[in-house]
Chains A and B, each alone.
Chain A
Amino acid sequence: MLSAILVVGLLATIFGIVLGFSAVKFKVQGDPLVEKIDKLLPQTQCGQCGYPGCKPYAAAIANEAAEINQCPPGGEQTIQDLAALLNREIIPLNPENGAEKEKSVVIIDEETCIGCTLCIQACPIDAIVGAAKQMHTIIESECTGCDLCIPPCPVDCIIITPIKKDLTTWQWAKPTELGINNSDKQAQVATDDQ
């Protein structure tokens, strides 16, 4: 009887030490779920979801304080990815936050720009170059198309332009599921001689 108590007690102590040790040694930095969710968000930092940026929205989703359908730039794709990650239902995009639109960047009409630096202050990713009273310009390759710089511009010289499609970004279409074939780009031979 006594030995049994001793053995159980000993085991409990050993496990306690091991667990305590690993809790210190293998401590997880940050919240991995928030990071994972943040990874799926488009990082436009536009605030259309009602949170001040992508990370805060990710945190809200992780705490189940927000639905997964609040991000218009991410659109349907992001909702699907989030649903898969969090095992939640796929729901349509919340129309109150705006609709999903074609991917775009903005450009500054450099003739009109007065060099007020207001847009520079609005850009969440520092993708605008310029100085006071100097013409500004946008680093197009970095611009995420969040459009946050548009309202502050006093002379309305920032213009939304859809991203130019070229061969490097061209995509094959998904075939229609059943029925008449839409794959006329393919040269496939028919099989009725088989």
Chain B
Amino acid sequence: MISKLFKFKGGVHIPQHKESSTQLAVEPASIPKRLILPLTQHIGTPAAPIVEVGQKVLKGEKIAQADGYVSAPVHAPTSGIIEDIGDYPLPHPSGMLAQCIVIKPDGEDRWIELKGHSGDYKQLDPSELRNIIRSSGIVGLGGAGFPTSIKHNPGPDRVIDTLILNGAECEPYITCDDMLMREKSREIICGLLITKHALQAKRCIIAIENNKTLAIESMQQAAKEFADRNIEVVAIPTVYPAGSEKQIIYTITGKETPKNGLPLHIGVVCQNVGTTAAVYRAIHHGEPLISRYVTIAGDVKQPRNLEVLFGTSANDLIEQCGGSTADIRRIIIGGPMMGFAMQQITIPVIKTTNCILIDAGQTKDLHTRQYTMPCIRCDSCADVCPVNLLPQQLYWFSKAQELDRIQEYNVFDCIECGCCDYVCPSQIPLVQYYRFAKSEIWKRERETQKSDAARDRHEFHQFRIDREKAEKAEKLRQKKAALKIKKQATDQSNEIGNNDKKEAEPKNAAIVAAMERVKAKKAQQKVEPKNTDDLTDHQKKLVTEIDQRRAEQRETQVSNSNDNAKMDNKEL
């Protein structure tokens, strides 16, 4: 039993705006006309497509496989035909294009043959469970999208003391985990038990913010049914960012995740509720991850949660929620605190999309900050930072691009929660300054690596050239020495002129033979210079002149060399 919760420093209380989207029960969204499935829906290497354009696929069929250890496969969310494999805009703050597979659904929604392990998951050992989870394409559905099978592999001699199920969902507007806990609590607990088995964890804590009373009730109910003494539902205080991994771990265990370390280094694994539900479906029913709950909120006529097939565009979902209430200014993927804005409305839902917020300028709390003013050094930002950083200092360093200093002030510990941004009276986009600094540091690191490599290669190049020079000089020296010895030897045995003639004769013979060969070859191939036809008289004259000049030159050369030879002979 948990006797005490720990309160992390800082955090903010923000208007939650969660009621409007929890009024209706979750329904499956309709199958759209086309599904655009990015190959990067997770952290790590993009998946590699294993289908071709025009191929027919069934629902749940693997269409792209994991490429490397940190990667995840992609499955067809419905049956249909592969329409295209090409670049489409990603739901990513860069708005960049990247490779996607486009499926045109055939409307039959026909599953491939599924093979589940209902009930007997305890017979499977952890590594088999991990394999199924990996091949089902399951990644963390809480936001980051880290492949779950890797999280389930803590290493041979690590003991997992606490498995925390994260149902905090602390960002405003987002309610998909809340709805999932209300409606699928049994699936979540089943998945939790499987995860517990895979990790051999000692106890499980389901942590839910205390403003989600219905979810807490439903989870408690389900936990009771399974009668596992080691599972406990805990209501934690509602304060942003309670659902952030490090903060929830601290709240439950009082332990801090070490710098540059992972929660499992302190014997904790944290898992999102949606992820465990997906684990349950993969193990019990053999279903790969092809859909998720998504909150559609903000300026739409009927905010709600839908069960959405991956690849469905935001536009389709907005239409199913009755359309927007005014002209859409931007679409926010994720919540208002940590999400990012996109201008296109065609971007698809992917594994990590928990919420689509529509900003049509009517919901007050969604307005962007309008005007940045100078920092007044009020230090409100430091009061709310849950990681105990000094946001104001980080801001100054980022602004001045003092990248060494900003690292000394631990910018990489910043979880980009946006609390500092939220309270800053000068409306300074602080988090963006930190993101800029982080990506600038990464860029510099890449550049240094590259220039170091270039320096090494250049040094080796220099060394190689010197070595080759030395080798050449050495060879020349050896040749000279050998020649000297030879000459000395011939001097002793032969008369002077004879020897030279003997050597020259075979050489001359070889040259003559080579010339004959070339002639023969030319005759064989019948290659004739093409530019000798239809010459004007003037050109013909020029040609003969040049030929003459060449012949003269050749003669003088021959006589010269003869002279030289004679002189050489004399010298010898």
Contact = CB atoms under 8 A, between A and B. Distances in A.
Given A191-B424, A194-B423, A184 B455 contact: no
A74 B548 CA distance: 58
Contacts of A177: 372, 399
Q: Point out which of A180, A189, A192, A194 has the most chain B C-beta atoms below 10 A from its C-beta.
A: A189
Nearest to B337: A189
Interface string A151-192: 000000000000001110111111111111101111111111
Contacts of A180: 370-372
B520 interface: no
Interface string A31-59: 00000001101111100000001100000
For the residues of A in contact with B, the DSSP-based class is: loop
Contact of B427 (A39, A173, A191): A191
Interface stretch (A60-68, A111-119, A124-132): A124-132
Contacts of B366: 187, 189-190
Contacts of B357: 187
Given A186-B421, A188-B368, 12 more contacts: A54-B455, A80-B401, A123-B461, A124-B461, A126-B461, A126-B464, A171-B439, A171-B440, A183-B368, A186-B341, A187-B337, A188-B369
A176 B399 CA distance: 10
Given A124-B461, A181-B368, A185-B341, A43 B451 contact: yes
Q: Point out which of A126, A142, A184, A185 has the most chain B C-beta atoms below 10 A from its C-beta.
A: A185
B560 interface: no
Given A169-B443, A175-B429, A189-B422, A184 B461 contact: no
A144 interface: yes
B302 to A, nearest CB: 22
Contacts of B309: none
Please classify how large the interface on chain A is, using the bins under 10, 10 to 19, 20 to 34, 35 or more.
35 or more
Interface in B383-431: 398-399, 401, 418, 421-425, 427-429, 431
B505 to A, nearest CB: 32
Nearest to A182: B429
Interface of B: 14-15, 40, 90, 92-94, 96, 98, 172, 330, 332, 334-341, 357, 364-374, 398-399, 401, 418, 421-425, 427-429, 431-433, 435-436, 438-440, 443, 446-448, 450-455, 457-458, 460-461, 464
Contact of A187 (B332, B436, B451, B464): B332
A176 B450 CA distance: 30
A34 to B, nearest CB: 13
Contacts of B365: 189-190, 193
Contacts of A186: 340-341, 368, 421, 429, 431-432
A176 B454 contact: no
Interface of A: 38-39, 41-45, 53-54, 80, 123-127, 142, 144, 165-167, 169-181, 183-194
B421 A188 contact: yes
A126 B334 CA distance: 47
Q: Point out which of A42, A173, A187 has the most chain B C-beta atoms below 10 A from its C-beta.
A: A187
A125 B15 CA distance: 59
Given A167-B96, A189-B337, A194-B423, A172 B457 contact: no
Q: Point out which of A123, A173, A186 has the most chain B C-beta atoms below 10 A from its C-beta.
A: A186
Given A54-B455, A177-B372, A181-B427, A187 B15 contact: no
A184 B370 contact: no
Contacts of A126: 457, 460-461, 464
Contacts of A184: 330, 341, 368
Contacts of A172: 93, 432, 435-436, 438-439
A188 B431 contact: yes
B368 A142 contact: no
B436 A175 contact: yes
A80 B444 CA distance: 13
Contacts of A181: 368-372, 427, 429
A175 B341 contact: no
7 contacts: A169-B446, A171-B436, A173-B432, A178-B373, A178-B374, A189-B365, A190-B427
Contacts of A167: 40, 90, 92, 94, 96, 98
